[in-house]
Amino acid sequence: MIGSDESMADMLAHVWHILPFALMFALPVAAIGAVVLYLLRRGSLASTMTVLVVIPVLATLAGVLGISQFMFTPMLTTTLLVCLLVGLVTVPAAVLLGRAIARRTVWEREARERERAAEASRRELVAWISHDLRSPLAGIQAMAEALADGVVSERSEVADYAQRISCETTRLSGMVGDLFELSRITAGALRLTMSAVPLRDVVSDAIAAQTPVAEQKQVRLRADAEAWPVVTGSDPELARIVRNLVSNAIRHTPPDGTVAVQIGIKDGDAVLAVDDGCGGIPDDEISRVFDVAFRGTQARTPDRSGTTTGGGLGLAIAKGLVEAHQGQIGVRNHGPGCRFEVRLPLAVG
């Protein structure tokens, strides 16, 4: 027991003897590592993880060299090799782990941002739709009560009330249809029956359907084609894309203005461009025109006929349908107004 106690005492004495040398060499390395970590506080997570692994290994090497006083004995060589092997294993592992954590962190942050944006969009949509549904419903209710109470008795007035009720009902039906279509798109429940669709037929039908609206507003509506491509898509949904874009262009073009639809092929894609005469979109709003329920400051005022604009869903639906066709849609100020441009994949064969 006495010999054992003496050996323990000798070992402790030896440790206290070499400890200052180890600290003298290891602490500066650790301090340098702390400075490097501070400088990398806004850098990539992979770099930070690498430094966190490398610094202890280097500090250990420095301490071992300090204790051995740089005398390369077999024991020191073995220790250095072990530290080197540890570094070769842990440094790549730290890089991979840092990148994995960074990707997960970015994914979680983007997911939270998407969730917040979706929630804000839902609240905005509910507010807009509640307002837009309330106005026609109140008008329908007032006119129906007037007819039921006999306040309106002249045949011409009754016919006028009936026509106005029909118009408001049609408007409500269109809004409900837009909501249903948008819910299918956002829920991923949209199922397209793809086939080769000539854009000539789609555009011609949309122009024919929107011509009476353009004439009523005294807006010129024309279509030009450098080529008539055939695209891969679903006929009803493609027709709705064109119809929504043309309807939006007519709505925002003043009387005596022109809405031009241009068709062509560019860079291997079918291109559909709709130009209007809206006067341009403000820079702080142009990036939001495809957002659900966004209508811009100019669209919130009644037009000359006294009616308000749509529910702000047409462009959002068009964007969703274009992306469902693996296409792209964009907008930019162009000439007297703005240009909405759609790119769709050409039909193969």
Would you give per-residue pLDDT tens digits along the chain (349 residues)?
A: 445 555 666 556 655 656 676 677 677 777 887 787 777 777 766 677 777 777 777 777 777 776 766 666 676 677 777 777 776 777 777 677 767 777 777 777 888 887 887 777 667 666 666 766 777 788 888 888 888 887 777 788 888 888 888 888 887 887 777 777 777 777 677 778 888 999 988 999 888 888 888 988 899 999 888 888 999 888 888 988 998 999 899 989 999 999 999 999 998 899 999 999 988 888 888 888 887 766 665 543 334 443 444 556 788 888 989 998 999 999 999 888 999 999 999 987 6
Whole-number pLDDT of residue 308 = 42
Last residue of a domain, one of 80, 107, 134: 107
Count of domains for the chain = 2
Cα–Cα dist 91/245, whole Å: 55
101 within some domain: yes
State whether 82 and 209 are in the same domain: no
Q: Tell me the per-residue pLDDT of 223-263, one tens digit each, with 9 for 90 and over.
A: 888 888 999 888 888 988 998 999 899 989 999 999 999 99
Cα gap 228→232, rounded to integer Å: 13
The pTM of the whole model exceeds 0.85: no
Would residue 121 count as lying in a domain? no
- CB atoms under 10 Å from CB of 325, counted, come to 22
User: What is the spatial distance between Cα 157 and Cα 329, in angstroms, rounded to a whole number?
Assistant: 46
Same domain for 220 and 346, yes or no, is yes
Q: What is the pLDDT of residue 302?
A: 37
**Residue 295 falls inside a structural domain:** yes
- Is the CB of residue 325 less than 8 Å from the CB of residue 234? yes
Query: In this predicted structure, what is the pLDDT of residue 69?
Result: 65
Q: Are 330 and 239 in contact (CB under 8 A)?
A: no
Q: Could you tell me if residue 140 is inside a domain?
A: no
- Picking from 60, 80, 107, the residue at the C-terminal end of a domain is 107
pLDDT of residue 258: 92
- Residue-level pLDDT at 124: 67
In a domain, residue 314? The reply is: yes
pLDDT computed for residue 167 by the predictor: 81
Q: Based on the domain organization, do 341 and 197 belong to the same domain?
A: yes
pLDDT in tens, 116-149: 877 776 676 666 667 667 777 888 888 888 888 8
Same-domain pairing of 334 and 230:
yes
Q: Domain of 74?
A: 2-107
Same domain, 204 and 334: yes
- Looking at the domain assignment, is residue 169 inside a domain? no
The DSSP H or E segment spanning 271 is: strand 269-275
107, 136, 163 - which closes a domain: 107
Residue 337 lies in a domain: yes
Residues 222 and 93 grouped into a single domain: no
* CATH number (domain holding residue 306): 3.30.565.10
On whether residue 229 sits in a domain, the answer given is yes
Same domain, 197 and 94: no
Q: DSSP per residue over 17-46, as a string?
A: HHHHHHHHHHHHHHHHHHHHHHHTTTS-HH
* 343 and 215 both lie in a single domain: yes
CB 201 within 8 A of CB 228: no
Give yes or no: residues 229 and 340 share one domain. yes
